[in-house]
Amino acid sequence: MTASLDAAITALMSLGGVAARERHDEFLASLVTVLEAPPHAIADPVRYQAALSHGFAYYFWKWDPRGVGLYDPVCRAIAHWASQPQPPVGLLCELVDFVYFLVWCFEDSSTRQCERLVGPLRAAAEGFARGAPPRRLPPPPAEDRPALRIAWLGMFAQTDSPMSIALRAVAPALKARGHHLDVYAWRFIDDPFRQHLKDCGAALHEVSGGSAADIIGAVEAQARLAPPDVVVSDMNNGVPTALFSRHLAPVQIFLQAGMPAWPVPHLNGVFNSFGFDPAKAGWGDAAMLRIDAPWDLPALTPAVTEAEIAAERALLPQGTRLVGSYGRFSKVTLPYLQAVERILLRCPDVSFVLGGTGDAAHVKAFMAGSPVGARIALQERWVNGHVWGHILELLLDTWPVTGGVSAREMLAKGRPVVTCHSPEMPAMNAQRDQALVARDWDGFVDIAAQLLQDRAAYEAASSRAAALVRRFSEAKTFEAELDADIRLAVRHARQQRSGFSRMLTGFKGLLGRGKA
């Protein structure tokens, strides 16, 4: 390693936690030097990657917004390492995870997230694909084959994780249709979810605990022993990007439940939960699928004690009615805060509470300059939505990235959710009371103010909320729709493969005529 790089690694490794925050300029500059080092200059790859891991860990744990300055250096590092003849899988996964984190934590728009992520993710995917070991996959299965072997890449297989909702619902539905489910739990899992998968007849493969490269190797080794017909991933960060790019199964499906960007090769279908624009997300010509899984009513309405409610209420503004929201602070935009302010000006007996994680500096700045600032309370912590659901009168949904589980939790308590239509997430409107979906901010303010000032309107909206949750909790046609959509992805994969084969045959024919 060059002397400057070695010095940067030494300086970086000597700083962490409080020291990294207090000496952030030095910390950031050292990390940038490490990121900008060309691959040929790395004499000790293990030490180099350890330094990057150390640097990234500070931002992962502290959510320091100054980390956004690393976006360009990380993207350049991805491009450099992905262009190598044999890209280092573990290092590339770590770089992907970090740029994913920077965009997910600090961008308030799904469209802007995709604008910033499609490029680096595509470069990484091309590197993963080029460095993949040679293997020959069978063609996609016949569309009418009664039973399929379906692999599920689950970063989260936990009872209380929002990212486990789909897998919880899909597992029994696949069993009911006679399919075999292999779940690859590659990061987080708990005992209740293990039991749930066992009850659903799924084969559980726990591959967590090692490095990203170890996890990828373990999944691919198991897939060789029991080759899947279809693979589904509910995440789009480093590990699944590598596995999909290296072509784990003949049919590959992305279950989009968070950030949409995923320009990976060999993508045959997307469960498009947002109704997001496929072109902006980089999904190519993948088939668009539904994911109308029934809501888990018991999970949305757990028992909460009066003592828990009282303890939480004591932390919030006293002597006032409360409305609010909770989630990532990056979802709280200026137009949203301005709408909240207008609601509070019209309803002087109401305060707004905002709970969550991330950087809230913009919220604090708005509070400081607002005439209702004293009636906006900020809780910079994870909050229990099941408790807040018994405290808040309304959930004021964020925009343009709207609420997911938070909205469900509130609706399940019979609390109205007021939403402003998001062009980025139009499919989410179907999970809302249509009478409370505004087309603009004027409508959003009017709806919320009416509910707070008209008791009859509020009670009617509460009744509709409870009815909505009951309707979405009924399974009805989910099993059949899920089966049909998976088979649609299979058919699409067969068509894609057939089109590629015809193109390849035509290209070979042209080459042959050229030689003649």
What is the token pair recorded at 171?
A: 């597992």
pLDDT of residue 17: 87
Closest to 254 in 3D by CA, of 236, 281, 239, 275 = 236
Q: Which residues of 247-392 form beta strands (DSSP E)?
A: 251-256, 269-272, 287-289, 321-328, 350-357, 376-379
pLDDT of residue 82: 97
pLDDT of residue 474: 85
The yes-or-no verdict on residue 507 having pLDDT over 80 is no
pLDDT of residue 500: 53
The yes-or-no verdict on residue 514 having pLDDT over 60 is no
Q: Work out the pLDDT band at 503, boundaries 50, 70, 90.
A: very low
At residue 292, what are phi and psi to the nearest 5 degrees? -95, 60
Stretch 341-365: mean pLDDT: 95
State the alpha helices, DSSP H only, in 424-477.
Answer: 441-453, 455-472
Could you say which DSSP state residue 137 is in? Answer: P
At residue 264, what are phi and psi to the nearest 5 degrees? -90, 150
Could you say which DSSP state residue 284 is in? Answer: T
Residue carrying structure tokens 């949305």:
300
Stretch 492-515: mean pLDDT: 62
314-347 residue pLDDT tens: 999 999 999 999 999 999 999 999 999 999 999 9
Helix axes 110-130, 89-106, angle to 10 degrees: 180
The residue with greater pLDDT, 509 or 68, is 68
Stretch 172-186: mean pLDDT: 97
The 8 Å CB, 24+ separation contacts for 66-71 are 66/24, 66/28, 67/102, 67/106, 68/102, 68/106, 69/28, 70/28, 70/31, 70/32, 70/35, 70/98, 70/102, 71/99, 71/102, 71/103, 71/116
Cross-strand partners of 322: 351
pLDDT of residue 454: 97
The alpha carbon torsion through 146, 152, 157, 160 (nearest 10 deg) reads: -70
Do the Cβ atoms of 125 and 238 come closer than 8 Å? no
How far apart are alpha carbons 135 and 160 in whole angstroms? Answer: 38
The yes-or-no verdict on residue 515 having pLDDT over 80 is no
126-137 residue pLDDT tens: 999 998 888 888
Backbone conformation region of residue 247, classed left if phi is above 0, alpha if psi is from -120 to 50, else beta? left
How far apart are alpha carbons 311 and 416 in whole angstroms? Answer: 23
pLDDT of residue 1: 59
pLDDT of residue 2: 80
Burial of 85 (0-12, 13-18, 19+ CB in 10 A): exposed
The yes-or-no verdict on residue 425 having pLDDT over 50 is yes
pTM: 0.91
Stretch 453-464: mean pLDDT: 97
| CA 362 to mean position of chain CA atoms | 23
Burial of 144 (0-12, 13-18, 19+ CB in 10 A): exposed
The yes-or-no verdict on residue 501 having pLDDT over 60 is no
Q: Work out the pLDDT band at 506, boundaries 50, 70, 90.
A: very low
| CA 294 to mean position of chain CA atoms | 19
When the pLDDT of each residue in the chain is averaged and rounded to a whole number, the result is: 93
195-250 residue pLDDT tens: 999 999 999 999 988 899 999 999 999 999 999 999 999 999 999 999 999 999 99
Stretch 76-94: mean pLDDT: 96
* CB contact set of 409 (below 8 Å; sequence gap of 6+): 300, 385, 386, 389
